[in-house]
């Protein structure tokens, strides 16, 4: 069983790529964004708490995120592995993920990062916002706040995973098929 962390800034294409990769490798795709939206839409207690932070363009606290994640992993143990999309976002979350996976005899296999220029990503998100209906995709100020949060809290994960020899950068600019091929080249090593 493998556990791949799909890493990258908002708008880098993690969700799009995850759809292809989950089918190709029989992985359970766990998107924290999708998990958050499900909990928010169904007005769960965790969903209500998460929405308060999302509305401000801030990261959802670790305790909420980790509780949602554990439930998703535990109900999907019948696949070849997991594809984590949008998690972990901080060193503390990475450590919590490591501890949780170890408790079920797994570990992060690799962290694959989609890299792209901020300005390209802002435009992608604004374009997505025209059809997604997501308020956080329609406000450039909130998008840039998300990037500030990313640079401050998430970028340190690059070193965290490099120190474990589990970090692989992939060019996130190009056609969907080209990017999928680049990601597959990394994942096929495992």
Tell me which residues are annotated as active site: 14, 89, 128, 134, 146
In terms of Cα–Cα distance, which of 165, 175, 155, 17 is closest to 84?
17
Asked if the peptide bond before residue 150 counts as cis, ω within 30 degrees of 0, the response is no
Q: Is 11 labelled as part of a ligand binding site?
A: yes
**Does the annotation flag 93 for ligand binding?**
yes
Side-chain half-sphere CA neighbours of 183 within 13 A: 32
144 has binding-site annotation = no
**Residue 146 is assigned to a ligand binding site:** yes
Tell me if 35 is assigned to a ligand binding site.
Answer: no
What residues contact residue 105 under an 8 Å CB cut-off, 6+ apart? Answer: none
- Is 88 one of the annotated binding-site residues? yes
Q: Is position 182 annotated in a ligand binding site? A: no
- Annotated binding residues for AMP, written as ranges, equal 32, 37, 58-60, 86-89, 93, 134, 146
- Annotated binding residues for ATP, written as ranges, equal 11-16, 128, 174
């Amino acid at each position: 069983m493998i556990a791949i962390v799909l890493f990258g800034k908002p708008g880098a294409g993690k969700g799009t790529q995850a759809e292809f990769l989950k089918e190709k490798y029989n992985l359970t795709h766990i998107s924290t964004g999708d998990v958050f939206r499900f909990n928010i839409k169904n007005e769960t207690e965790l969903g209500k708490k998460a929405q308060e932070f999302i509305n401000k363009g801030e990261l959802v606290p670790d305790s909420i995120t980790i509780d949602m994640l554990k439930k998703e992993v535990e109900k999907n143990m019948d696949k070849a592995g997991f594809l984590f999309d949008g998690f972990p976002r901080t060193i503390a979350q990475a450590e919590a993920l490591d501890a949780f996976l170890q408790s079920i005899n797994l570990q992060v296999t690799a962290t694959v990062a989609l890299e792209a220029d901020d300005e390209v990503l802002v435009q992608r998100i604004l374009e997505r916002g025209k059809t997604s209906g997501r308020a956080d995709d329609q406000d450039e100020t909130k998008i840039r706040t998300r990037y500030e949060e990313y640079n401050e809290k998430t970028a340190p994960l690059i070193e965290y995973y490099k120190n474990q020899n589990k970090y692989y950068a992939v060019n996130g600019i190009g056609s969907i098929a080209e990017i999928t091929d680049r990601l597959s080249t990394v994942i096929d090593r495992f």
